[in-house]
């Protein structure tokens, strides 16, 4: 194993001097304990101590963001925020994502010196690619399977989330494939409920998709939610593959990185990484971790697509945060000649023709999935018009034509803009 | 599958009327979408809709705890906190912990109606025991293996966290077993680092422990940190078992519930569930989840011990929160005749003889592991005196003798009280 290092960037808030606070982080997560112990020699510290690489002060803070923090016993106790970069030799934990987590997160956010501590980013040496496979399909492989090039993959979700039988689900899929969508995903609440068992649902859905493909030549990609125990997930993958399916979906926070690694090693299909539960880690600015850091770990473990929310979404995430996540999905994790592990960002939540132009402007790419629920199903002229309106909106965005102008040429787009707020 | 329900209790903060806010939670996590869709019939809603069981207002809140929340378009916008209980029929997701997570957590904490949302507790029907095994050893099985009855299991941790070779680790273990500890755990930062590979470390450690057992009849329990990928964890378990080890340890947040279920099914040893990373979910009062809820999921998946921090700990958790977690570990999850799935709470972090009495008073039980690092190693008369001082402190606590009085009869305890603050 080389002497390459892992770099983690944190936002911190502390009433302790910044150098001292950063040293506490490095100590706690490498050689240190609260009391220096006999075995902790200078040689050991030199080889294994985490290193504070950079401290950027971000200004004073009036009140602690989180409860429970301490104050220095003497001296100045001005509370400050800062950006801190800490590094570790990979030989501390080896090329192991689960053990990397214990190092870069671990007990850090419980340390008393901090009234806020959040992981902002992580940079891993390419050596991790000797142990993890990264995305198998990524952007290009997903496009090939979906048969969609040079524009976003237009997607939608099966709703209601629970309560549909396998046949009712397939009926809804029939409407959607006939409407012309490229991609359909299960809801994250429906994996293998007793009223809609996984195998029956996916068999019924794939019969519809396969029949449509036979007729039209277009095989719609269906992300079948196989979230479950490990043996279940592997068996469900095999079932989807046998039915001619082209995608599987798993809830990342529900299954954990080791299960994802195992699923990736087994899978012959792209993995749609659903991020539900993300708000627990991501929503507070004072704790948890950014999606920038989070998605890198999961890309390495093998996801091919991930949700990034959407511009003007129905949740509480800001547009800047959405776009930062989406751009990161398309940014190489490792320098060439190593694979960059780029994946498809999936825009969703309250998306309609109105968001095409601002999304394209901010992302600078059509390499994305653009998923709309109501934006397709609730189009006044029906779902097919809903899909056409989205395609027209993206065409206009790429051509640099204002959407209102484009709408004058296309009644579906005009109706979509009228129907979906302003 | 029965029509039993899952109950989840949340703390929420919202500027919307509480009934409306709670209905949003129930809708988002069951039948609802932002727009009511054609398939969402009344029958479907009756069978599958989540139900708001209870709303307890907790008072007005001046400022939003988290950014990004919305305000009602009309009417009163007083921000309030409340405790809300929501229930779901188990037939929505089936007996699946990964899918339960998507339901009880999922997108909830990202909903715009809330400026704070935290899972406080969860109550599951006993039917889950048909799919999950729960703890294999729990309190009684751990006591049998450790040979410790009617008092806490006195534990310690190997420090420094990283940098020791297998032989240096074993040397430290020799000091600790000779000092009389009952239990030793690896640091969560050391699982299989290239300088301290798992098999070599555990072999070296078990040689020391086995030799000590041969001499004294006392087999010290060693929680070997096998955190890693799934195949690695199963193989490492087998190695520990073959060496005569009596415990394995895994970082819960690093491996995920499906990996824990698989490890539990394979394991012939108690599983020490390390909670590092917990601060990310647990520290903010406005987001994430309580340890009360968290540990129930992992108990069901199969852990036998878990960390609860300690009274007057070096981290930022309050004593009340520590004790609530510890008591919960000893509280049955299911009514008799079902197993209660009780597990050993593990007190640690800055623990010394001073915390025995308040811990016993608050816990009302000696069914715990009480782990001290500096509290043993830094005792002025050496580690054996450190262990004896802890035992004496607990004996006094159980007997109702004030620790200062007990110290007059025992020089080790007196020295401990003098050494470890006041």
| Residue numbers in B near A125 (CB within 8 A) | none
Question: Partners of B184 in the beta sheet?
Answer: B156, B222
| Optimal mutation site among A102, A285, A307, interface B, most CBs of chain B within 10 A | A102
Tell me A182's DSSP state: S
Instruction: Let me know whether B97 and B177 are in one domain.
Output: no
Nearest to A66 among B34, B44, B284 (CB): B284
Nearest to B111 among A33, A281, A315 (CB): A315
CATH number at residue B72: 3.30.70.150
Size of interface A-B (CB pairs under 8 A): 347
Quick one: pLDDT at residue B293?
98
Residue B321 is part of which domain span? 138-419
Q: What angle do CA B214, B217, B223 make, to 5 degrees?
A: 85
φ/ψ (deg, to 5) at A339: -65, 145
Three-class secondary structure of residue A89 per DSSP: strand
* Predicted confidence (pLDDT) per residue in A87-115, tens digit: 999 999 999 999 999 999 999 999 999 99
Instruction: Let me know whether B378 and B288 are in one domain.
Output: yes
Instruction: Let me know whether B387 and B343 are in one domain.
Output: yes
User: What percent of chain B is modeled with pLDDT above 90?
Assistant: 91
| Optimal mutation site among B170, B225, B259, interface A, most CBs of chain A within 10 A | B259
Nearest to A68 among B69, B93, B316 (CB): B316
SS3 string of chain B? CCCCEEEEEEEEEECCCHHHHHHHHHHHCCCCCCCCCCCCCHHHHHHHCCEEEEEEEEEECCCCCCCCCCCCCCCCCCCEEEEEEEEEEHHHCCCCHHHHHHHHCCCHHHECCEEEEEEEEEECCHHHHHCCCCCCCHHHHHHHHHCCCCCCEEEEECCCCCCCCHHHHHHHHHHHHHHCCCEEECCCCCCCCCCCCHHHHHHHHHHHHHHHHHHHCCCCEEEEECCCCHHHHHHHHHHHHHCCCCEEEEEHHHHCHHHHHHHHHHCCCCEEEECCCHHHHHCCCCEEECHHHHHHHHHHHCCCEEECCCCCCCECCCHHHHHHHHHHHCCCCCCCCCCCCCCEEEECCCCCHHHHHHHHHHHCCCCCEEECCHHHHCCCCCHHHHHHHHHHHHHHHHHCCCHHHHHHHCHHHHHHHHHCCC
| Optimal mutation site among B86, B195, B272, B283, interface A, most CBs of chain A within 10 A | B283
> B96 vs A45: CB contact, 8 Å cut-off?
no
Q: For residue A254, what is the nearest residue in chain B, using CA coordinates?
A: B98
Residue A40 in this model has a pLDDT that exceeds 90: no
The predicted model gives B351-373 an average pLDDT of 97
**CA distance to partner chain A, nearest, from residue B324 (Å):** 17
Three-class secondary structure of residue A154 per DSSP: strand
Instruction: Let me know whether A81 and A167 are in one domain.
Output: no
Nearest to A110 among B31, B102, B317 (CB): B317
| Residue numbers in A near B193 (CB within 8 A) | 91-94, 99
Residue B422 in this model has a pLDDT that exceeds 60: no
Instruction: Let me know whether A402 and A277 are in one domain.
Output: yes
Instruction: Let me know whether B155 and B24 are in one domain.
Output: no
| Residue numbers in A near B374 (CB within 8 A) | 33-35, 37
> B160 vs A33: CB contact, 8 Å cut-off?
yes
Instruction: Let me know whether B216 and B113 are in one domain.
Output: no
Q: For residue A64, what is the nearest residue in chain B, using CA coordinates?
A: B284
**CA distance to partner chain B, nearest, from residue A320 (Å):** 12
Residue A365 in this model has a pLDDT that exceeds 50: yes
Q: For residue A157, what is the nearest residue in chain B, using CA coordinates?
A: B33
- Residue that terminates a domain, selected from B78, B97, B130: B130
User: What percent of chain A is modeled with pLDDT above 70?
Assistant: 98
Domain count of chain A?
A: 2
* Predicted confidence (pLDDT) per residue in B189-219, tens digit: 999 999 999 999 999 999 999 999 999 999 9
d(CA B186, CA B202): 10
pLDDT bracket for residue A159 (50, 70, 90): confident
Q: For residue A232, what is the nearest residue in chain B, using CA coordinates?
A: B258
pTM, whole model, 2 decimals? Answer: 0.97
**CA distance to partner chain B, nearest, from residue A365 (Å):** 26
Instruction: Let me know whether A95 and A142 are in one domain.
Output: no
| Residue numbers in A near B48 (CB within 8 A) | 160, 162-163, 195
d(CA A107, CA A90): 19
Quick one: pLDDT at residue A38?
59
* Predicted confidence (pLDDT) per residue in B230-278, tens digit: 999 999 999 999 999 999 999 999 999 999 999 999 999 999 999 999 9
- Residue that terminates a domain, selected from A108, A130, A152: A130
> B280 vs A289: CB contact, 8 Å cut-off?
yes
Residue B37 in this model has a pLDDT that exceeds 90: no
Nearest to B30 among A70, A162, A314 (CB): A162
| Residue numbers in B near A193 (CB within 8 A) | 91-94, 99
Q: B160 or B357: which carries more pLDDT confidence?
A: B357
> A160 vs B377: CB contact, 8 Å cut-off?
no
Q: For residue A118, what is the nearest residue in chain B, using CA coordinates?
A: B280
Let me know if A405 is exposed, middle or buried by CB neighbors in 10 A (0-12, 13-18, 19+). exposed
| Residue numbers in A near B47 (CB within 8 A) | 163, 195
* Predicted confidence (pLDDT) per residue in A244-286, tens digit: 999 999 999 999 999 999 999 999 999 999 999 999 999 999 9
pLDDT bracket for residue A34 (50, 70, 90): very low
Nearest to B314 among A34, A192, A278 (CB): A34
**CA distance to partner chain A, nearest, from residue B187 (Å):** 10
Instruction: Let me know whether B186 and B123 are in one domain.
Output: no
Instruction: Let me know whether B114 and B259 are in one domain.
Output: no
Q: For residue A349, what is the nearest residue in chain B, using CA coordinates?
A: B34
Instruction: Let me know whether B209 and B322 are in one domain.
Output: yes
Three-class secondary structure of residue A322 per DSSP: helix
CATH number at residue A252: 3.20.20.110
Instruction: Let me know whether A124 and A143 are in one domain.
Output: no
- Residue that terminates a domain, selected from A89, A110, A130: A130
Closest CA to A420 of A365, A328, A354: A354
**CA distance to partner chain B, nearest, from residue A283 (Å):** 7
> A254 vs B101: CB contact, 8 Å cut-off?
yes
Question: What are the CA-CA distances from residue A340 to residues A119, A229, A330, A364 (Å)?
Answer: 22, 30, 9, 18
| Optimal mutation site among A274, A280, A351, A379, interface B, most CBs of chain B within 10 A | A280
């Amino acid at each position: 194993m080389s002497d390459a290092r892992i770099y983690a960037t944190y936002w911190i808030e502390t009433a302790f001097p910044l150098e001292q606070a950063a040293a506490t982080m490095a100590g706690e997560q490498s050689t240190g304990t609260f009391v220096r112990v006999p075995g902790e020699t200078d040689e050991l510290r030199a080889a294994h101590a985490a290193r504070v690489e950079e401290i950027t002060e971000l200004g004073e803070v009036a009140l602690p963001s989180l409860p429970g923090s301490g104050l220095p016993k003497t001296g100045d106790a001005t509370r400050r925020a800062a950006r801190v970069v800490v590094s570790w030799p990979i030989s501390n934990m080896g090329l192991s994502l689960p053990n990397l987590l214990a190092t870069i997160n671990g007990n850090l956010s419980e340390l008393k010196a901090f009234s806020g501590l959040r992981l902002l980013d992580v940079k891993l040496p390419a050596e991790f690619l000797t142990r993890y496979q990264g995305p198998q399909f990524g952007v290009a492989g997903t496009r090939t399977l979906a048969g969609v090039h040079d524009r976003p993959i237009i997607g939608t979700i099966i709703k209601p989330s629970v309560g549909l039988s396998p046949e009712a689900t397939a009926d809804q899929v029939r409407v959607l494939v006939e409407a012309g969508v490229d991609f359909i995903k299960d809801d994250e609440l429906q994996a293998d409920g007793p009223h809609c068992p996984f195998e029956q649902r996916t068999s019924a859905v794939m019969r519809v998709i396969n029949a449509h493909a036979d007729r039209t030549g277009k095989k719609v990609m269906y992300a079948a939610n196989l979230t479950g125990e490990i043996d279940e997930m592997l068996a469900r993958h095999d079932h989807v593959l046998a039915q001619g399916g082209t995608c599987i979906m798993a809830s990342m926070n529900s299954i954990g990185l080791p299960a994802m690694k195992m699923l990736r090693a087994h899978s012959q299909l792209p993995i749609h990484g659903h991020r539900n539960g993300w708000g627990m880690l991501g929503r507070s600015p004072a704790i948890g971790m950014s999606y920038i850091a989070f998605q890198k770990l999961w890309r390495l473990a093998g996801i091919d697509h991930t949700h990034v929310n959407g511009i003007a979404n129905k949740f509480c995430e800001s547009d800047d945060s959405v776009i930062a996540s989406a751009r990161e999905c398309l940014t190489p994790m490792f320098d060439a000649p190593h694979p960059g592990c780029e994946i498809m960002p999936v825009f969703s939540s309250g998306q309609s023709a109105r968001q095409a132009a601002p999304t394209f402007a901010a992302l600078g790419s059509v390499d994305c999935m653009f998923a709309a629920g109501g934006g397709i199903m609730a189009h006044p002229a029906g779902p097919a018009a809903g899909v056409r309106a989205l395609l027209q909106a993206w065409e206009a965005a790429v051509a640099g034509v204002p959407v209102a102008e484009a709408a004058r040429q296309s009644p579906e787009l005009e109706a979509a803009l009228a129907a979906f707020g302003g």
